[in-house]
Structure 1
Amino acid sequence: MRASDRAYRALREDIVTGRLLPGTVLGEVEQSQRLGISRTPLREALSRLTADGLAAPHNGRGVVVTKISPETVTELFELRQALECKAASLAATRGEPELFTALRRDFEQAADLIVQETGQDPSRSAYYALVARLDEAIDTAAANAYLAQALANVRLHLARVRRLAKDNPERLLATAGEHATIAAAIASRDPALAAAATSVHLHKSLEHFLAAAGPPG
């Protein structure tokens, strides 16, 4: 793997997980030393982060980790609404019902998973892995490379926004039910219902994110 690719992946992971907080200046000297690479591949990595929207130019030199605000969350969900509802609709038309029936069952049984992870794994990685499986199944069934690429960028930013949501077991249980409904609609090969179920889920998620983030500052 090229040095620039390694740097990009490392910095992206640090930004998404919050190890590099919004507003952090990514100085070339500091980051090249931290990552053990020269400044040329680091600049390439920083350019890619800027193209992703995870960083932005800072005072004419270097870049800074972009901030997250209620306004940016709302904009993200406006795009997410259009993309994910369309993907769910296509998946209901083109996907394999058996796969989504199995995913529905998994989400219906996710209550135990969520409760167990509350104390054992605060990040709830297993539950979010299940969500990722549904996303992947929908992307594959939709069979639209351009749509999948656009969704990948949206989900990259969503991973950052999720940190603001301060998910609690009650909300996670609700999302499990919403995801089960989406999977069931796709399994029934009902495009309109799949899009509607996705829209309801996204509306509730946005309300939760904005409540956790607080009023605009």
Structure 2
Amino acid sequence: MQESRAGSVRASDRAYETLRSDIIEWRLSPGTVLGELEQSARLGVSRTPLREALSRLTAEGLTAAHRGRGVVVSDISLEKISELFAVRISLDCTAATLAAERSDQDIFNTLTIRFETASTLISSSSGEQHEYYRLVAELDSAIDAAAANPYLLQAQKQLRTHLSRVRRLARDDAARLLASAAEHAQIARSIAQGNADLASASTKVHLHNSLQYLLAARIDPGSTTRKETAHG
């Protein structure tokens, strides 16, 4: 009985991680119906661990119950994006301030240099910028470690799950990613210098620019492509 239970837990975790990755990476787009029979067969798990995985995803807000359709991938509207950024600006500026007051200068100096030379990651001929996103995640982790505030980190955890989905909407726009790299370099530089006010201000500028890009580009949340803007 214990072995069966352990196997069920492992299957549930496996299903959860796969579905979560598929949703964040837009392999499963908003509105996609996650039918139990189809997903059980695709993931190679029984319906019980699948239901456990779907429950966890629903608790995170990545999926939602839809009357008459079962469980679907949750949508991302421009309104929701604005709401996410309103919270993100507050949390990330606080984290940057704390990091600047407590950081290891060498770590952030190194990150500054890496962002200053990140154009090769962004201009990848394959069109994939996974390495650049890993670098952004490294900066996030370094700020978390320097800020050393578990309550702040817990508040950011679920928010970042949704922001990972939003971030992928800009993945094909090399110009925006290059500008973003410069903004990240400034954040890292400010923290390395121990300038809390500048670290907070640089973070706010970056997040403002990111939000304005998404709004101005009139992202279609139902696809991974951008709609044409009025100015072409």
TM-score, length-normalised on structure 2? 0.86
**What CA RMSD, in Å, does the superposition of the two structures yield over aligned residues?**
1.8
Residue 22 of structure 1 and its aligned partner are, at CA, apart by 0.4
> Which of 107, 113, 117 matches 1:99?
107
Structure 1 counterpart of 2:60: 52
By percentage of residues, which structure has more helix?
1
**1:60/1:135 Cα in 2 relative to 1: closer, same or farther (>3 Å)?**
same
In the alignment, residue 212 of structure 1 is paired with which amino acid?
A: A
Structure 1 counterpart of 2:77: 69
Q: Supply the distance in 2 between the matched residues of 1:26 and 1:171 (Cα, whole angstroms).
A: 33
Structure 2: gaps of 5 or more residues: 1-8, 222-232
User: In 1, are the aligned partners of 2:122 and 2:177 still within 8 Å (CA)?
Assistant: yes
User: In 1, are the aligned partners of 2:108 and 2:188 still within 8 Å (CA)?
Assistant: yes
Q: Supply the distance in 2 between the matched residues of 1:30 and 1:114 (Cα, whole angstroms).
A: 36
Residue 148 of structure 1 and its aligned partner are, at CA, apart by 1.8
Determine helix, strand or coil for the equivalent of 1:63: strand
Structure 1 counterpart of 2:6: none
Instruction: Select the structure with the greater relative contact order (CA < 8 A; seq sep ≥ 6).
Output: 1
User: In 1, are the aligned partners of 2:169 and 2:219 still within 8 Å (CA)?
Assistant: no
1:19-46 Cα shifts (integer Å, max 9, x gaps) = 1110011122221222121211111111
Structure 2 counterpart of 1:30: 38
Q: Supply the distance in 2 between the matched residues of 1:31 and 1:3 (Cα, whole angstroms).
A: 13
Structure 2 counterpart of 1:88: 96
**1:123/1:149 Cα in 2 relative to 1: closer, same or farther (>3 Å)?**
farther
Residue 114 of structure 1 and its aligned partner are, at CA, apart by 2.4
Matched, 1:132 2:137: yes
In the alignment, residue 11 of structure 1 is paired with which amino acid?
A: L
Residue 101 of structure 1 and its aligned partner are, at CA, apart by 0.9
Q: Supply the distance in 1 between the matched residues of 2:85 and 2:198 (Cα, whole angstroms).
A: 19
> Which of 192, 201, 218 matches 1:196?
201
User: In 1, are the aligned partners of 2:170 and 2:177 still within 8 Å (CA)?
Assistant: no
Structure 1: gaps of 5 or more residues: none
* Alignment length (residue pairs): 213
> Which of 208, 216, 221 matches 1:211?
216
What's the % identity of the aligned pairs?
59
1:35-61 Cα shifts (integer Å, max 9, x gaps) = 121211111111100011101111167
Structure 2 counterpart of 1:182: 187
